[in-house]
Structure 1
Amino acid sequence: MSEDLSKPAAAAPGLARRLASLTYEGVVLFGVVFVAGYLYSALTQQRNAMQGRYGLMAFEFLVLGIYFIWFWTHGGQTVAMRAWHLRVVDEASRPLSQVRALARYAAALLWFAPALLVIELNGIKGTGPVLGTLLLGMLIYALLSLLLPRRQFLHDVVCKTQLITQLPVKKNVNKP
């Protein structure tokens, strides 16, 4: 199937809307991570937070991957993306394949990787400084989108995906 180059690429939804969706996603993911953590601790008989923490992190990373990949390949919208009328598609506006969704999930670690590296290399400790560094890193990453083609996030450029506006279909309610 060839790409229709005569059709202009859709502009990315505004940064504020994408960040609002990201914030909402964090609220949803709190529940997903909580349930996954509870399941892991029950299955492994984990008795304290330090016991099996790397296994727990790997399990939660896998659960989050399944969450995102499933939603991105089944309609292109997570719960938060649906609420904010966003949809992820490839550059030709087609639904994502599982391979492309997996690549996007892995590349989305760019939101956190630079800040985590700064934290590790500088020995930053304490909740406030770590959280502040993470938030600053995420803010810089988000603002970087203003410099990129079609104002996309870097992980979308790398994976050849894009966020588009997906307004709900209005149903014609004619009463006979």
Structure 2
Amino acid sequence: MSQRRFTQLDSVWPAPLPRRLGALIYDGFLVAAIWIAVTVAHVAFFRLVVGQSAEEVGTSAVEVWSLRLLLVLSAMAFFTFSWTRGGMTLGMQSWRLRVQTVDGSSISVGQSVVRCLVAWVSLVALGLGYWWVLFDSERRSWPDLVSGTRTVVLPKKRD
């Protein structure tokens, strides 16, 4: 997938923490819905294909770890698809946010994967990776810094 250059580059500004948190909450609901669907499919596979009884499902380490891996990969796929396609998730669209390269292009799959991995670290560190926006002069979070991207606010559309 080739990177495309975004428009409105002179009209964007670094995204503040409240907007980022708003988008994060919206996207959290979307990820939860994806996780429910993945979990239902996972349980159905072990019940219908493998033939386990309801009491057996989820009792082995293989089942537990395969589900955990599927949940992480499905969340990463959601974000990677959204960010590389148009620079924003549905939650980011609601808050008029876009993730882009420093020069204003769409981000690569590699940058997206790095953003996802560092986002997990940021959240595990009690959100410090996102609170970092308050201390960085360019309002960059840890995912922005490590992946070489920036999250910006888009101007309101004029009629």
TM, length-normalised to structure 1: 0.72
Change (3 A) 1:107 1:27: same
**Equivalent of 1:37, from 11, 36, 39?**
39
- Shift in Å, 1:168: 5.6
* In structure 1, C-alpha distance between the alignment counterparts of 2:129 and 2:116, rounded to whole Å: 16
Partner of 2:4: none
User: Which runs of structure 2 are paired with 1:63-102 in the superposition (5 Å)?
Assistant: 63-102=74-113
The percent identity for this pair of structures is: 21
Q: Which runs of 4+ in 1 moved over 6 A?
A: none
User: Which runs of structure 2 are paired with 1:120-135 in the superposition (5 Å)?
Assistant: none
The gaps in structure 1 that reach 5 residues or longer are 1-6, 115-136, 172-176
* In structure 1, C-alpha distance between the alignment counterparts of 2:99 and 2:18, rounded to whole Å: 17
User: Which runs of structure 2 are paired with 1:12-161 in the superposition (5 Å)?
Assistant: 12-45=14-47, 47=54, 48-51=57-60, 52-114=63-125, 137-138=126-127, 140-161=128-149
Deviations 1:84-133 (A, max 9, x none): 1111001111101111111111221122333xxxxxxxxxxxxxxxxxxx
- CA-based RMSD of the aligned residues comes to 2.2
Change (3 A) 1:70 1:159: same
* In structure 1, C-alpha distance between the alignment counterparts of 2:146 and 2:39, rounded to whole Å: 31
TM, length-normalised to structure 2: 0.79
Which letter maps to 2:30?
Answer: V
Change (3 A) 1:9 1:111: farther
* In structure 1, C-alpha distance between the alignment counterparts of 2:154 and 2:59, rounded to whole Å: 43
Change (3 A) 1:36 1:167: farther
* In structure 2, C-alpha distance between the alignment counterparts of 1:70 and 1:39, rounded to whole Å: 21
Structure 1 counterpart SS, 2:151: strand
Change (3 A) 1:92 1:107: same
Which deviates the most, 57-66 or 145-154?
Answer: 145-154
* In structure 2, C-alpha distance between the alignment counterparts of 1:143 and 1:59, rounded to whole Å: 28
* In structure 2, C-alpha distance between the alignment counterparts of 1:105 and 1:113, rounded to whole Å: 12
Which letter maps to 1:26?
Answer: G
